[in-house]
A and B are shown apart, each in its own frame.
Chain A
Amino acid sequence: MTARNIYEQQSANKRKTVIVMALFAVFFGFLGWGFDVYFFRFGQGGLPFPVATIVALCFGGWSAWWSLQNGASTVLASSGAIPIDDSDPKYQVLRDVTDEMSIASGLPKPHLYVIPDPDPNAFATGKDPDHACVAVTEGLLEKLNREELQGVIAHEMSHVRNYDIRMMTVVAALVGAVMLLSEVGLRSGGFGFGRKRDSSSRGSGGALMFVLWLIAIILAPLLAQILAMAVSRQREYLADASGAELTRNPNALASALQKIDAAVEPTKSIKKGTAHMCIADPLGKNVNNKEGFFAEIFGTHPPIGKRIMLLHSMAYR
């Protein structure tokens, strides 16, 4: 893999972030448009302009913008991450391997955080490499040796370098926004049905659109999550590979993954909304370790066995 592929990867990721955001925007618009047509009777003698569409689009746009600016600190705060003390000898090795990886990748040093949790896990967040944060759990520092820790940090630095962190942070915030909006839609939907009976002007085409809209609102949170998971799974293989490219030591990352996998307890500090950002699924879900249709749709991470196998095959090439 040459360095040029990484730049292509970066621009592909920036492009995908924009596409994902546009998809969400269309979706927000669709949700709002339904409100306008069916509840505010826009275009049928009701309100003169589509208020709900505008509100939903503004809300979506604001969520995306806000998540770019504050997503990282929100994620860090929600998982109880604490910035590390720069003079504490306990974190000397963590600081050193991070410096090494920032030299190997040619990126600025990320801000380091520690999560007081005995289960080994790690994630990276931030809007770009200049504002990147890497958080690791106390358990990770305890269980891994120097080389394995280096492998994990290399994996996280690859997420930083590939602009995965920006995409993941934005996706996390937008999934939350969709959930909120669809909740609001469903609640006011009950109120809307009463008014619907009064109107006799709606044709059968309108009714079909209404049903479609209702289905969209009900399925929205699920679809948004499936999208987030699909995005996340792809990124993990790539971060494993480019992490190995940084350390030139894929076996160390493989054995780190093995140790992370062996610790069966879920990482309690890490909330469901940030699960897709971690190096391994913090929820300890079984679905991630299986292959097949369900794992392909509902796992946030590819099967760890497959990742380890791929890393070993890199080592023996």
Chain B
Amino acid sequence: MGPFLFLVVFVVIIFVWVIAQYNKLVTLRNQVANGWKQIDVQLKRRHDLIPNLVNTVRGYMEFEQETLEKVIKARNAAVTATGVADAAAKEGELTGALSRLFALSENYPTLKANENVQQLQEELTSTENKISFARQFYNDIATKFNIAQQVFPGNIIAGMFKFQASELFEVKEPAEREVPTVNLSLKK
């Protein structure tokens, strides 16, 4: 009976361990999915803010109609983007267009003094920050998920249940590497 009992205990321990590893991976996979959703939430917020911004600054920046149109066009393209790669490219273009707009707005002192614009500027600054922090968090959690799948013995479980590595968010467009400086105030 002795060896048999030992075998049963051994099998039970292995079984419990597999369950624990599997649950850990599932938890991480859900955290990764949630992290991705967070990026979407912030991008949507940016899309909602842009028409507001353009309408507010239009009166002040009569001579920059072309830049404003580009922002609107980039924004509309980003809203209708489908798939991860497409979205990344179009959001990158939007970021570029926005940063040009903010650079130009430096030339309009009355614009900078407007309270409405200042509030919008703070909201956009925060949204841009939130997008990049959401990406940062997504990359951190996705890296953790990938490491958990690749290290031994996690890789056995991951292979057994066909877990797949998450893609990291990378900056592909050169324009996207440029951080838009949303600073109209020059105060402080």
Residue ranges of A at the interface with B (Cβ–Cβ < 8 Å): 2-4, 89, 92-93, 96-97, 99-101, 103-106, 145-146, 150, 246, 248
Report yes or no: B126 in contact with A100, Cβ–Cβ below 8 A: yes
Q: Which residue of chain B is the closest to A89 with respect to CB atoms?
A: B119
Q: Which of B146-188 contact A (CB under 8 A)?
A: 147, 188
A89-B119, A92-B119 known; A3-B141 Cβ under 8 A: yes
For the residues of A in contact with B, the DSSP-based class is helix
In the complex, B69 has a CB within 8 A of chain A: no
Report yes or no: B144 in contact with A145, Cβ–Cβ below 8 A: no
Q: Which of B38, B133, B188 has the most CB of A within 10 A?
A: B133
Q: Which of B126, B133, B144, B188 contacts A4 (CB 8 A)?
A: B144
Residue ranges of B at the interface with A (Cβ–Cβ < 8 Å): 31, 35, 38, 42, 119, 122-123, 125-126, 129-130, 133-134, 136-137, 140-141, 143-144, 147, 188
Can you list 19 A-B contacts (CB < 8 A)?
A: A2-B144, A3-B140, A3-B141, A3-B143, A4-B144, A89-B119, A92-B122, A96-B122, A97-B126, A100-B126, A100-B129, A100-B130, A100-B133, A103-B137, A104-B136, A105-B137, A106-B35, A145-B188, A246-B133
B23 to chain A, nearest CB (A): 15
Q: Which residues of B contact A246 (CB under 8 A)?
A: 133
Bound: A100/B123 CA distance, A: 11
10 other A-B residue contacts (CB within 8 Å) besides A96-B122, A100-B130, A103-B137: A2-B144, A3-B143, A96-B126, A100-B129, A103-B42, A104-B136, A105-B137, A106-B35, A146-B125, A248-B136
Q: Which residues of B contact A92 (CB under 8 A)?
A: 119, 122
Q: Which residue of chain B is the closest to A101 with respect to CB atoms?
A: B133
Q: Which of B31, B129, B141 has the most CB of A within 10 A?
A: B129
Report yes or no: A103 in contact with B144, Cβ–Cβ below 8 A: no
B19 to chain A, nearest CB (A): 20
Bound: A289/B145 CA distance, A: 42
Q: Which residues of A contact B119 (CB under 8 A)?
A: 89, 92
Bound: A134/B31 CA distance, A: 25
Q: Which residues of B contact A150 (CB under 8 A)?
A: 129
